Amino acid sequence: MREYTLDEISKLVFTFAEQDNLTFPGEFEHRLDKISSKILYSLIREYKPLTCLEFGTSWGGTAIVILKALEANDKPYKYIGFEISEDLKKETTRNIFHWASGKLPNKIDFELYGDIKQNLNKVPQELDFAFIDPDWDEDIAKWAFENIIPRVKKGGLICIHDWSVTKDLIYEGGTYPGILYFIELFKQGKMPLKKVFSDWDDYKNSSIALSFWEKC
């Protein structure tokens, strides 16, 4: 995988999100905007990961976008999600099963847990895809760098949410300590990721800050 231009991403979105008539989960609060949702869906359709991890799931909107893409790929797959808030975990479950009309597809291996730090043994040793969206304190960012990113296989896809950071690694859209920690890792050449696409490079909106990376 290589870094996509905006034109290439737009064509990918047309090929997958638009042609598949992707609908945005609008019945409940969903922190991922429509542009990012379409790009996320389309890259999963293109890359076709089989073993997928997400933390935190919040209300489950992003999980539904991921699951829709995995379902459209029509391959057996594993999705494992984590949400530290018990109330939000319940909302994730409720919204996912509402989307699935009460019954998830037979080919999905679906698991949802609470605090990922207390359930590391539930995380597969090798991941094709990881969506990283915690509360972004420095401790959880450091933990993710040490425990999750190493499990993503070489060539695997990683999404980092809230990446309102320029190509020159200037943090423009927030003050999360965890994002600042990741920025420092990139500056020191310690982050084993290369960019696929970052919404912030082209859209520059506080709610449009999803980034996509390939594991080196």
35 Cβ neighbours under 8 A, 6+ residues apart: 199, 203, 208
pLDDT at 145: 98
For residue 123, pLDDT beyond 80: yes
| pLDDT of residue 128 exceeding 80 | yes
Report d(CA 16, CA 8) in Å as an integer. Answer: 12
Share of the chain above pLDDT 90, in %: 81
* pTM summary value: 0.95
Alpha-carbon span 111 to 102, nearest angstrom: 15
> Percent of the chain having pLDDT more than 70?
100
Beta-carbon contacts of residue 66 (< 8 Å; ≥ 6 apart): 40, 41, 44, 52, 54, 79, 131
Whether residue 98 contacts residue 122, with contact meaning beta carbons closer than 8 Å, is answered with no
Distance between CA 158 and CA 151 in Å, rounded? 11
Band of residue 61 on the pLDDT scale cut at 50, 70, 90? very high
Residue 36's pLDDT is 93
pLDDT for residue 15:
97
Contact 145, 185 (CB under 8 A): yes
In the numeric block, the tokens 């009460």 are attached to 102
pLDDT of 81-122, one tens digit each?
999 999 999 999 999 988 888 788 778 899 999 999 999 999
**CA-CA distances (angstroms) from residue 194 to 79, 123, 181, 197?**
24, 23, 17, 9
Residue of higher predicted confidence among 158 and 28: 158
pLDDT at 102: 79
* Residue 204 confidence (pLDDT): 84
Task: Using the predicted structure, report yes or no on whether residue 154 has a pLDDT greater than 80.
Answer: yes
Q: What is the mean pLDDT of residues 55-71?
A: 93
Is the confidence at residue 2, as pLDDT, over 80?
no
Mean pLDDT, residues 29-43 taken together: 90
Residues 6+ apart with CB under 8 A from 194: 3, 213, 214, 216
Buried b / exposed e along 89-106 (16+ C-beta atoms within 10 A): bebbbebbeebbeeebee
User: Is the per-residue pLDDT at 178 higher than 90?
Assistant: yes
Place of tokens 């912030």: 200
Note the pLDDT of residue 162: 95
- Above 80 in pLDDT, residue 28? no
